[in-house]
Amino acid sequence: MNYTVQIVTAVFSRFHAQTTSWGRGMMLLFAIVLVFAVVIGEGVLYHVSYFLALVIVGSYVYARLRLRRLDIRTSQSGKVGEATRLRVVS
């Protein structure tokens, strides 16, 4: 089990966006439903897998569009070793 987690972590670390456990669960559910759709051949499972793919891709695009509008500003008036102050302006 630990080896599987390391493989999944290595694969997901290559993506630009960090995935949460909820997102990994959705992708795992998508993979399981898609495998069952191919094995069983039931049309409903194909529709469910299409819907899950749309949800996963749509949520990624929505998150990227929302993050694009954020503006992060730093204050440069600090000394070495002091904590940097960041302000997020939406």
Is 46 within the bounds of a domain?
yes
Residues in a beta bridge with 72: 88
Dihedral angle computed from the Cα positions of residues 14, 17, 21 and 24, in that order, rounded to the nearest 10 degrees: -60
Pick from 65, 64, 32: nearest CA to 48 = 32
The answer to whether 58 and 26 are in contact (CB under 8 A) is no
The answer to whether 56 and 31 are in contact (CB under 8 A) is no
Is 1 within the bounds of a domain?
no
Is 6 within the bounds of a domain?
no
Is 5 within the bounds of a domain?
no
The per-residue pLDDT for range 3-12, each reduced to its tens digit, is 555 555 555 5
Is 81 within the bounds of a domain?
yes
Is 20 within the bounds of a domain?
yes
Is 18 within the bounds of a domain?
yes
Domain containing 60 equals: 13-89
Q: How many domains does the structure of the chain reveal?
A: 1
The per-residue pLDDT for range 17-41, each reduced to its tens digit, is 667 788 888 889 999 999 999 999 8
Is 3 within the bounds of a domain?
no
The answer to whether 49 and 29 are in contact (CB under 8 A) is no
Answer yes or no: pTM beyond 0.85.
no
Q: What gap in Å lies between CA 3 and CA 1, rounded to an integer?
A: 5
